[in-house]
Amino acid sequence: MSGHLHGVVQTTRTDPSRVLEEIKRQTLEQLGGLPGTLYGPIEEALKADSLKGDGRNHHFEDQAALWVLRQQQASHVMAFRQHVGLGFEAFRSPGSAVGGLGGSPLQLVGEQQLAFDLDGERLTEALEQRYLRPLEMLDGRLKMLSQAIGAPAGANPSGPYRLVRAFTALYSDAQVNESLRLRLFRQYEFELSRVLGDLYARINNLLATAGYGVGMAGGAAPNAPARAAEERRDRNTLDDVFDTVPHREAAASVPHDYNGAPGAGYGGDPRAAHAGAGYGAQQQASQADVAAMASELAELRSQLHAWREGLIKAGGLPPTHQQPQRSMAPRRELRVEEVLGMASLLQPEPPDAYARALAVSGRLGETIRDQLYDGARRLGFNPDQTCFSAEEDDAIDLVALLFDSLFRNHALQDRARRVYARLVMPYVKVALTDNAVFVKREHPARRLLDAITEACEGNDGETPQDRDLLERASEISQRIVCDYNEDLAVFELAHAELDAMLAQHRRRIELQEQRAAKATYGRERLGAARSQADQAVRERIGESRLTQAVADFIATPWRHHLVQVMLRENDDPKRRAQAMALGDALVMADKLAAENRGRELADQLLALQPIIVQCLASSGLDDSAAQHGMAGLVRALSTPDKERSEHPLPSASDIEEDVAEERRLYLASGSAQVAHDPLLAERMRQLEPGDWLRLTNIQGETIAVKVAWVSPLTSRFLLVNRRGVRALVASAEELAILAASGRLLVGAERTAFDEAMRQVRRHLDRVI
């Protein structure tokens, strides 16, 4: 067996020339054809502008110049690829002139070339600002690559400067006016924005997996003495504060909520801490913040220990060598590097055991330990003579509780279980080496887990977009398994890729929320109109004795007409008053008929005829049917001794089936009569759109819901799930009843990781 533990950071690297050639190949593959994609969209835009122009804009000049450029499209593509390729040659040999773009810096520059250069500088600055973070990482890795080649550090051959210079070099001799030049730059920027994010992610990932960028500290080995000494000298970083007594004990635990505070590595081993803390620049923290964090960490760690000991005493964890208890014969505690080696050995293996454990609450931690001890046996360690340290136990339990909380409380489908099962061992390795994942909200591993949960939560794959999202999340989890080797850049690149896809998904969710709000408002307006119409019908029928024809007309066509007027023309008081007056006039006409006042009745009906026909037409009758209905009404009123009687009042409008279903799911029957806490109801009235809650239905299933909209008509709250689908519409009083019964929790966290850690802490508090 090799003396080097599998999984510990190594300095073995792929041949730099081969890596550079692969970067060149991917860059040309992604960007080589860009000039050929510019002209089509510009031509379409020019055609559209010419159609809607006022005649003063002469787009034919731009179209003529564009036509000339299109004839040279093939040569432009070849020249562009050549210029990009020269950038890589310049990177390989910075002192040579082969990578130069343009002529001598002392030559005279024409006005057109100057304009292109100025626009190119602005585009370069915009792109560098947009891709600042991946470019910084890429520059650091390329610097290490150039050192491996044995050449001075050169400019990034796929960076914005080179790409923009290659673009401007194409048109140095072309006749391009100002309008077309601006269109070319805009279209080029648009095309670059579509591919650069993915390209930089691929190159960063390629360099990281090839061994250029581990630790991101100039290529020195993570355990170099100079680096350890440097870490000890920098006393303002959390890594060093936690590496000193009295904070070393606190460093192994996690606060449930800390606003972006940086974290530290587990235990007192600066090498293990630095394996994860090498990501990015170390951040400063005030002594007060450090003290508060240390207190939070120590408290949670003590809770973890009490929870574990309680499980052992209660028989929840059998006191075997595979469980974290310290009362047995002394054993050697495994070092972090050794546990990392076990985890790295297990990382690429099928995650079936973790998937099964996620299906049973509380089994994941036991399964992780079983698998790690199995890896220990394969690496030659005797489990009877070794045990996990307290810090390692904490890391395992926190990851197990975190994943269990995510799967229990975020409406994840069974098909997402394998996605999370693959990530268990990589996140155990993160927890062992980088405590910041639990305290720093911007930590890449934390953000990736948030993005994966966002992609999977409530996603049943019904639509093609949802299926694509699930497939991408699955691919990314597999990529983490394949590529993660203590370099957190893998998580950041994976998050950037998934987040770009989720941006479109969030837009769809936003539109879904807007549609749900509009549909709910429409239902409320319809319900209010029907209630007012029913009240108007009751007032006119009431205890009056009417002919059957008049009563039927008021109860059906007139009521429907009244609802339509209230919905469509509620802002027109004249139309509303006219519709109301029709009902009163029909009651009066029936009274005139009963009193045998024929002349007055005839005058009344003649005056009402246009309005009655219009009322019948609003119910969908054509002119002939409306006239026939009018004739039936006249016949009924023409006989004074026609039977008249009291008529039943209309019943309340039925609730729509989907509304009734959601009320059966979340609100117990008769909730309107259940007393509510006025103070709690007042607290609910303070909820605003964007607030997150946790809602539990009658069957005990809990989902995260957001206040998407507050009705200006009824002040009810529209609650939607994370997919933007309506979950419940309820009043403040109904929400107060739900909260009092423990089925509504106010103040849920916005991100899945934050909410999961909150649930973990609540679970520990409840158990202890």
The region of weakest confidence among 228-237, 238-247, 415-424 is 238-247
CA angle 76, 78, 80 (to 5 degrees): 65
Cα gap 84→199, rounded to integer Å: 14
Which tens digits make up the pLDDT trace of 27-82? 888 888 888 888 888 887 877 776 665 444 556 677 777 787 877 777 888 888 88
* Predicted TM-score of the model (pTM): 0.53
395 and 356 together in one domain: yes
Q: Residue 134 sits in which domain range?
A: 16-209
246 and 169 together in one domain: no
99 and 166 together in one domain: yes
Q: Is residue 279 part of a domain?
A: no
Cβ contact 200:479 at 8 Å = no
Cα gap 406→556, rounded to integer Å: 53
Last residue of a domain, one of 166, 184, 209: 209
pLDDT computed for residue 717 by the predictor? 92
Average pLDDT of the chain is 75
pLDDT computed for residue 718 by the predictor? 92
Residues 6+ apart with CB under 8 A from 332: 385, 386, 387
Q: Quick one: tokens of 696? A: 């539990």
204 and 234 together in one domain: no
Q: Is residue 645 part of a domain?
A: no
Q: Is residue 1 part of a domain?
A: no
51, containing H or E segment: helix 34-52
Residue 229 has pLDDT above 70, yes or no: no
- Which is nearest to 6 in space by CA: 294, 285, 378, 356? 378
Last residue of a domain, one of 572, 605, 637: 637
Residue 286 has pLDDT above 90, yes or no: no
160, containing H or E segment: helix 160-170
Percent helix, strand and coil across the chain, each rounded to 5?
A: 65, 5, 30
Question: Number of structural domains, the chain?
Answer: 4
Cα gap 517→204, rounded to integer Å: 43
202 and 231 together in one domain: no
Cα gap 54→178, rounded to integer Å: 20
Which tens digits make up the pLDDT trace of 668-716? 654 445 677 888 888 888 888 888 888 888 877 778 888 999 998 888 9
Average pLDDT over residues 390-413: 84
pLDDT computed for residue 423 by the predictor? 93
Cβ contact 494:479 at 8 Å = yes
580 and 662 together in one domain: no
Residues 6+ apart with CB under 8 A from 295: 250
Q: Quick one: tokens of 161? A: 């400067």
146, containing H or E segment: helix 132-149
- Which is nearest to 128 in space by CA: 83, 158, 163, 159? 159
Confidence of residue 649 (pLDDT cuts 50, 70, 90): low
Cβ contact 444:497 at 8 Å = no
752: left (phi over 0), alpha (psi -120 to 50) or beta: alpha
Cβ contact 228:235 at 8 Å = no
Last residue of a domain, one of 573, 604, 637: 637
- SS3 state of residue 640: coil
Backbone angles phi, psi at 170, to 5 degrees: -70, -30
User: 105-113 long-range contacts, Cβ below 8 Å, gap at least 24?
Assistant: 112/171, 112/172, 112/176, 113/168, 113/172
Q: Is residue 585 part of a domain?
A: yes
330 and 434 together in one domain: yes
Pairing of strands 744-746, 692-696: antiparallel
630 and 664 together in one domain: no
248 and 318 together in one domain: yes
Which tens digits make up the pLDDT trace of 706-760? 899 999 888 899 999 888 888 888 888 888 888 888 888 887 667 888 888 888 8
pLDDT computed for residue 211 by the predictor? 78
Query: What CATH number is given to the structural domain containing 666?
Result: 2.30.30
DSSP state letter for 251: G
Q: Is residue 25 part of a domain?
A: yes
Q: Is residue 4 part of a domain?
A: no
402 and 469 together in one domain: yes
Q: Is residue 74 part of a domain?
A: yes
Burial bucket for residue 572 (CB in 10 Å: 0-12, 13-18, 19+): exposed
Q: Quick one: tokens of 743? A: 């089925």
Which DSSP string do the residues of 210-238 spell out, in sequence order? TTS-STTSTT--TT-HHHHHHHHH-TTSH
Cα gap 445→428, rounded to integer Å: 11
CA angle 223, 226, 229 (to 5 degrees): 95
Cα gap 200→206, rounded to integer Å: 10
Cα gap 622→634, rounded to integer Å: 18
Which tens digits make up the pLDDT trace of 352-387? 899 888 888 778 988 999 999 888 888 888 888 888
Cα gap 474→479, rounded to integer Å: 9
Cα separations in angstroms, 638 against 1, 257, 603, 605, 627: 111, 80, 13, 11, 16
Greater model confidence, 330 or 327: 330
pLDDT computed for residue 427 by the predictor? 94
263 and 355 together in one domain: yes
Residues 699-730: b if buried by 16+ CB within 10 A, e if exposed: eeebbbbbbbbbbeeeebbbbbbbbbebbbbb
Q: Is residue 761 part of a domain?
A: no
241 and 121 together in one domain: no
Cα gap 191→189, rounded to integer Å: 5
